[in-house]
Amino acid sequence: MDPAVHNRVRELRQSRNWTQEHLAAEAGVSRQSMNSIERGRYIPSLPLALALAEVFAIPVEQLFSLTPFPATGGSEAAPESANPDPNNSSPENEQ
């Protein structure tokens, strides 16, 4: 059984306001290949994974992993904002 490979390609591409077409051109692959990588239907070769990490200017370990990446985005609140300490008198806890 092949291990699942998780990636942050879509997240990082969108944070830079790049299209799949732009990223694919930078990495030297088709837009369809980029779409398949983002959707987890295709695991890129090591040279392609390294090329993508280079395009994003990050270590490959920050782009691909055998374990899921922590969820990011605005939909999940930070633990401290979910349960503010009622004894904390900081301005963000005032109503």
Q: What is the pLDDT of residues 42-64, one digit of tens each?
A: 999 999 999 999 999 999 999 99
Structure confidence by residue, pLDDT tens digits, 64-85: 999 999 987 533 333 333 334 4
The CATH superfamily of 1-64 is lambda repressor-like DNA-binding domains (1.10.260.40)
* Token pair recorded at residue 89: 């008198």
The rounded Cα 30 to chain-centroid distance in angstroms is 20
Helix axes 46-56, 20-27, angle to 10 degrees: 120
Nearest one of 63, 67, 9, 65 to 36, comparing CA atoms: 9
Domain locations in the chain as residue ranges: 1-64
| 3-state secondary structure at position 90 | coil
pLDDT at 71: 83
